[in-house]
Amino acid sequence: MSAPEAVLTARHVSIEYEVDPPVKAVRDVSLTLNRGEILGLAGESGCGKTTLAYGMNRLLKAPALMTGGEIVFHNREGHDIDIVALDGDGLRAFRWDKISMVFQGAMNSLNPVISVRAQIFDIFDTHRPGMSKKDKQARAEELLTLVGVDPSRLTSFPHELSGGMRQRMMIAMALALDPQVMIMDEPTTALDVVVQRGIIREIMRLRERLGFAVIFITHDLPMLIEISDRIAVMLQGQIVEEGTAEEIYRTPKHEYTKKLLSSFPSLTGERGDFVRTGNQPSQEEIR
Ligand SMILES: Nc1ncnc2c1ncn2[C@@H]1O[C@H](COP(=O)(O)OP(=O)(O)OP(=O)(O)O)[C@@H](O)[C@H]1O
Ligand SMILES: [Mg+2]
């Protein structure tokens, strides 16, 4: 295997919520995402995972403020993009295009009265204004097929779809512009275990096929161990341990990592179970 090449680097990032008293949500975090890898970000509720993810995609809004550090995207075309310095057109050309995000709880916030097709077309209208209707339709159908949903579902409205299908739609939308990085914030947490596994397998397959890198955020460390190349463990705004999935599984060093590992006794399969099982999700799973 060739040496890892970074696609996204965060150095000494600090983010605060400027409320009274201020919340130091992310404290001096440094993190590197390599091209094509899955980096798991684990940690309990409130430790700062979503805040860090928003920072990395320049999505922070007041009262959140990045108070220090730098975030650099290493473009496939060879030049670096200083994410913190982007504004206006630069930001529009960056977000969704280079890094896309599947938001925590987003499947429940899809606009229920707008068809799936209109919501996908909206991305093209914003980012690819010259795209013909025929091309938009073809790409939208391709995207649904990619995530294991029948293209006839394009005319559906979100309220007509199951949770698993809505989440697949969110992933399809995040893939729309063929990004180099996808940030997935608890993409399966609200779903039952069978649907969750189906979607995770789909993400693994897509990653294999399309080559994007993933930051996969969840409090479920055992699940991350099954799917990630590397894992960072976050506690109270800081990364307290980082290593390959194998290292975190076999030789966790931090007490908190050990605690997280033992808090999900339900997963007892060998590492790699998700990855190896090549089954297509059943129709029930995706309906
Ligand atoms: N708008 C806000 N104003 C003030 N504090 C906030 C705001 N949003 C988040 N916080 C605080 O920042 C800290 C980090 O929150 P964040 O949502 O990033 O955690 P998380 O790890 O994503 O949690 P979860 O697993 O529940 O999604 C928490 O203490 C939270 O209460
Ligand atoms: Mg969160």
Ligand 1 pocket member 25 (CB < 6 A):
yes
Distance (Å, rounded) from C-alpha 25 to C-alpha 119?
32
> For residues 225 and 258, is the Cβ–Cβ distance under 8 A?
no
Closest residue to atom 3 of ligand 1, CA basis: 17
Ligand 1 pocket member 48 (CB < 6 A):
yes
From 27, 44, 50, mutation site for ligand 1 pocket: most ligand atoms within 8 A of C-beta: 50
CATH code of the domain made up of 6-98+180-286: 3.40.50.300
Neighbours of 30 (CB within 10 A): 14
Ligand 1 pocket member 3 (CB < 6 A):
no
Ligand 1 pocket member 27 (CB < 6 A):
no
Name which residue leads in pLDDT, 145 or 263: 145
Condensed to tens digits (0 to 9), the pLDDT of residues 4-56 reads 899 999 999 999 999 999 999 999 999 999 999 999 999 999 999 999 999 99
Residue identified by tokens 């913190």 is: 84
Distance (Å, rounded) from C-alpha 158 to C-alpha 113?
7
Run of H or E including 15: strand 6-17
Q: How many Cα atoms within 13 Å fall on the side-chain side of residue 151? A: 10
Residue identified by tokens 């996908």 is: 120
Condensed to tens digits (0 to 9), the pLDDT of residues 171-216 reads 999 999 999 999 999 988 878 888 888 999 999 999 999 999 999 9
Ligand 1 pocket member 34 (CB < 6 A):
no
Closest residue to atom 6 of ligand 1, CA basis: 17
Distance (Å, rounded) from C-alpha 244 to C-alpha 48?
21
Domain with CATH 3.40.50.300 in the chain: 6-98+180-286
> For residues 41 and 216, is the Cβ–Cβ distance under 8 A?
yes
| Average pLDDT score, the chain | 88
* Average pLDDT value for residue range 251-269: 77
By C-alpha distance, which of 225, 267, 216, 214 is closest to 249?
225
